């Protein structure tokens, strides 16, 4: 059993996070935009477009922050 301080182990843990995080922010952003479009406002395609763009920005920002925290 490796220590939680083991550099290989901790680095692997951090690396695996980034990919799924990018996907998850994109999904959440698109989902929020789509639900604004279809239930709240009559802004048919633009909520989805804006939501996807915001999700992409959030994902890249998170990846950047995770990478910055790496030793």
Partner 1 sequence: MEDPLHPFELHTIVPLSLFGLDVSINKAVIMMFLVVGLVILLLTKARSSGSLVPTKLQSVAELLVEFIRGMIHDTMGPEGMRFFPLIATLFLFILFCNLLGLIPGTYTVTSQLVVTGVFALGVYALSILVGLKIHGIKFLSILVPSGTPGWLLPLMIPIEIISQLARPVSLSVRLFANMTAGHVILGVLFGLAISGGLLIGWLPFSFTVALYGLELGIAFIQAYIFTILTCVYMGDAFHLH
CB-nearer residue toward partner 1: 16 or 67? 16
Based on the shown chain and the rule CB under 8 A, indicate whether residue 28 belongs to the binding site for partner 1: yes
Q: What is each CA distance from 40 to 33, 36, 47, 68, in whole angstroms?
A: 10, 5, 10, 38
Who's near 22: CB < 8 A, 6+ residues apart? Answer: 59, 60, 62, 63
Report residue 63 as tokens.
Answer: 């990846």
Q: Closer to partner 1 by CB, 13 or 45: give it.
A: 13
Give dist(CA 36, CA 42) in Å, integer: 8
**Selected binder of partner 1 within 38, 45, 61, 67 (CB under 8 A):** 61
Q: Is 49 near partner 1 (CB under 8 A)?
A: no
- Site residues for partner 1 per CB under 8 A: 1, 3-5, 9, 12-13, 16-17, 20-21, 23-25, 27-29, 32, 51, 54-55, 57-59, 61-62
């Amino acid at each position: 059993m490796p220590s939680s301080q083991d550099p290989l182990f901790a680095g692997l843990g951090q690396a695996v996070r980034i990919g799924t995080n990018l996907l998850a922010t994109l999904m959440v952003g698109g989902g929020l935009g789509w639900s604004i479009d279809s239930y709240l406002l009559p802004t048919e395609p633009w909520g989805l477009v804006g939501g996807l763009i915001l999700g992409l920005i959030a994902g890249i920002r998170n990846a950047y922050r995770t990478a910055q925290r790496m030793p």
